[in-house]
Amino acid sequence: MRKHFRFFLLGFLFSPAAVFAQQKYSNEFLNIGVGSRAFGMSQSVVSSVDDVTSGYWNPAGLTRLEGPVQASLMHSKYFAGLARYDYGGIAASVADNTAVMAFSVVRFGVDDIPDTSELIDLDGNINYDRVKSFSAADYAFILSYARNSKRRNQSDKESPTGLSYGANVKVIHRKVGEYGKSFGFGLDFGVQYLFKHWSFGAMGRDITTTYNSWTYNANKLSSVYTATGNEIPKNSTELTYPRVVLGAAYSNRLNQNFGFTGEANLNLTTDGQRNVLISADPVSVDPTIGVEADFKKTAFLRAGLGNIQKATDFEGKQAYTYQPNMGVGIRIKNFCVDYALTDIGNSSDALYSNVFSVRLIFTK
C-alpha cells in the first residue's frame, strides 16, 4: 500500500524533471494559444490578428486596436476537465495614441492533486486525514509594446498600408506544490506589414532563448525518492529555443454584407527534429491554415487545419493525421463572444475541447 501511494505521488513530481530532460518541449503550454478566434482558425492569425490577443500572437497587431482600450478573457478545460487553461489580457493606447501597451496572463494547471507523502504516520498507520492537496501550474506574465513605423499610412481606415512592430517581455513561473518551482525570462518580437487587402506577419518567440531556473525542495522529496530508489532532482536550468512564425493573410469584403479572411502560417522550430509535416534537424516546419467568414461583421464562422503529422498504425502503415478546428463568434455592439471546438487528438480518434472567450471594446 505504501509503495503504491508513493509511486502515485512520484508521477506528478517527475513532470518538471522530464521537461528538463527534453528541452524541446520546455514551456510548451505557451504554444497552446489564446482566444477562440485563433483556435477556430488553427492558430493561423499571426498576420491578421488586430485585437488585445495580439499581445500573445504578434504584438505588432496591437497597433490596429479598435478603441482606446480592449479587454479579453478565455477559459478552457483539457484532458476530460483535469486541466484548466485560462487567459486574461488588457490593451490600451498610450503616448497620445502613437503606441499601444498590453498585459496578458496565461495559466495552465492541474489542481487538487492528492498529496499522499504523509499518508502513513511514524507508527506505520494509514491516516487519511494527513492527505492534503496541491496544484501543478504554469504561469506566463506578458508585457507588450507596439507602434507603427513612420512610413505607415493609416489615412484609409479600411485599407491601411505600411509596417508596424512590437515586442514582448515575459516572465514564466512554474510550480509543483511545495516540491519544486521555477522562474524564467524571455523576449518576443513581431512585425506586420499591410498592403491593400494583404497582410504579412512574422513573430519571433523566445528570440534570446528563454531560461527557466528550477529549484527543488529536497526535504519534501528525500523520503519518497529514497524509498523508490530514485535520485533527487538537482537545481537546474531549462531552455526554450527560438521559434519563428511566418504568415500571410488576405481579407476582402465580398459585398456590403459578407466578408472573408484567409491566412496561412509556417511555424519554424529550432530545437531539433519534430514530428510535423516538414521534419528536419535543427529546423522543422509546421504549416497551418485558417479561414473566417463574417456577416456584417456581426456573426462569424471559422475553420482551420493544422498539426499535420505522419503516424504509423497497428498494421505498420504510415499515414498523415491532422487537427481540424472550427468556431463561431458574435458581436453585439462592443461586446464579442467567441467559441471554438478544437480537436486535440486527430481526425480518427478525436478528443474535443470547448474554448470560450469574450472581448470588450471600450470606446471612452
Average pLDDT over residues 244-256: 94
**Residue 239: predicted pLDDT:** 86
CB 168 within 8 A of CB 208: no
Average pLDDT over residues 332-351: 73
pLDDT band at residue 11 under the 50/70/90 scheme: very low
Output 342 or 204, whichever has higher pLDDT: 204
Average pLDDT over residues 99-119: 87
Output 23 or 116, whichever has higher pLDDT: 116
Furthest-apart CA atoms within the chain: distance in Å: 79
Determine the Cα–Cα distance for residues 339 and 334; give it in Å rounded to an integer.
17
CB 136 within 8 A of CB 108: no
Residue 241's alpha-carbon distances to 26, 249, 279, 315, in angstroms, are: 8, 26, 16, 36
Residue 300's alpha-carbon distances to 56, 201, 251, 264, 325, in angstroms, are: 22, 22, 14, 19, 14
Dump the DSSP string for 42-55: TT--TTT--STTHH
**Residue 21: predicted pLDDT:** 41
CB 327 within 8 A of CB 299: no
Q: What mean pLDDT is reported for the chain?
A: 83
Average pLDDT over residues 16-41: 73
Residue whose C-alpha cell reads 495552465 in the numeric block = 108
Length of the chain: 364
pTM above 0.85, yes or no: no
Task: List alpha helices for 62-201, DSSP H.
Answer: none
Residue whose C-alpha cell reads 527534453 in the numeric block = 22
**Residue 351: predicted pLDDT:** 59
Determine the Cα–Cα distance for residues 284 and 268; give it in Å rounded to an integer.
6
Determine the Cα–Cα distance for residues 35 and 76; give it in Å rounded to an integer.
10
Q: How many CB atoms lie within 10 A of CB 298?
A: 13
Determine the Cα–Cα distance for residues 81 and 300; give it in Å rounded to an integer.
27
Q: How many CB atoms lie within 10 A of CB 219?
A: 9
| Residue ranges per structural domain of the chain | 2-195+205-237+330-362
Interval 139-157: pLDDT, tens: 999 999 999 987 665 555 5
Q: Up-side HSE of residue 302: CA atoms within 13 Å toward CB?
A: 31
Output 230 or 319, whichever has higher pLDDT: 319
pLDDT band at residue 61 under the 50/70/90 scheme: very high
Residue 81's alpha-carbon distances to 87, 190, 327, in angstroms, are: 16, 33, 20
Output 111 or 155, whichever has higher pLDDT: 111
**Residue 213: predicted pLDDT:** 87
Interval 116-139: pLDDT, tens: 776 776 667 777 777 788 888 999
Output 21 or 281, whichever has higher pLDDT: 281
Q: Name the strand (E) or helix (H) holding 38.
A: helix 36-40
- The closest alpha carbon to 148, from 157, 133, 161, 138, belongs to 161
Residue whose C-alpha cell reads 492534503 in the numeric block = 132
Extract the C-alpha cell encoding 29: 503550454
Determine the Cα–Cα distance for residues 37 and 331; give it in Å rounded to an integer.
12
- The phi, psi pair for 29, rounded to 5°, reads -65, -25
| Portion of the chain with pLDDT greater than 70, in percent | 81
Q: How far is CA 140 from the centre of its chain?
A: 10
CB 301 within 8 A of CB 328: yes
Determine the Cα–Cα distance for residues 261 and 194; give it in Å rounded to an integer.
14
